Every structure is written in C-alpha cells, then in structure tokens.
C-alpha cells in the first residue's frame, strides 16, 4: 500500500512516515521501487490471497503511447504493483509496453 494510505490508516502524517522510511525506522516492512516510490507491507491491512491463487499468477500490465512518457510508465507500473500487493498478491509480475496504436 502507498505511504499516504498507510499513514491515514495509522493516523500519522505522511511526511513522518516518509521520514521513517528513509531512516529505516518503519515498524512494518517497506519496499522502495525503482522509481523511488515507497510501498508499505503491513500484514494488519493486507488481505491474504485466496488459497487457490497460489497456483495461479497475477500480471499487472502498464502501457504508454510514446517513448517520452517513460516516467509515467514507471509510475503506472508501480501503482499497479502496489494495488496488487494490497490485495494480497504475493509476487505480482509487471509487464510494461511503450507503443502507439
């Protein structure tokens, strides 16, 4: 889940949580994505995946229409991964594509 979402659930200011992430003082596991986004993995708020989902896989697909939108593509992919993780998916795969229709 995103830092802002976790901060709201814990009744904390997002700036405080970002500071804890950077300092390594978070009370729950966090992950920093390649684009610099912090994802919070708090078992208290993450719903477990259904038992039959362990034999399947989850793929997140992100696409932009031109090469100058690469930064948007990375942010889009990070948001999709954060959403999948918040839904209880253990290892979501991310597929990205740049191309015009």
Strand ranges (E), the chain = 30-32, 38-40, 59-64, 93-98
8: domain CATH number is: 1.10.10
- Where residue 71 falls among pLDDT bands split at 50, 70, 90? confident
Does 58 share its domain with 87? yes
Pairing of β 93-98 and β 59-64: parallel
- Who's near 3: CB < 8 A, 6+ residues apart? 14, 17, 18, 21, 38, 40
Does 99 share its domain with 86? yes
Number of other CB atoms surrounding residue 45 within 10 Å: 14
Active site residues: 65
Q: Which residue has the tokens 């993995």?
A: 41
Provide the whole-model pTM.
0.55
Does 18 share its domain with 28? yes
Does 3 share its domain with 23? yes
**What total of structural domains would you count in the chain?**
2
The domain containing residue 70 runs over which residues? 47-101
pLDDT digits (tens, 9 = 90+) for 34-68: 888 899 998 888 776 666 655 778 899 999 998 88
Does 65 share its domain with 36? no
Does 12 share its domain with 40? yes
């Amino acid at each position: 889940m995103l830092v802002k979402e976790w901060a709201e659930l814990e009744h904390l200011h997002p700036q405080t949580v970002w500071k804890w992430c950077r300092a390594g003082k978070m009370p729950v596991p966090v992950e920093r994505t390649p684009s610099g986004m912090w994802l919070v993995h708090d078992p208290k708020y993450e719903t477990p995946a259904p038992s039959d989902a362990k034999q399947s896989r989850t793929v997140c697909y992100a696409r932009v229409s031109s090469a100058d939108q690469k930064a948007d593509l990375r942010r889009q992919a990070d948001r999709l991964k954060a959403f999948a993780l918040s839904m209880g998916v253990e290892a979501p795969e991310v597929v990205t594509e740049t191309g015009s229709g």
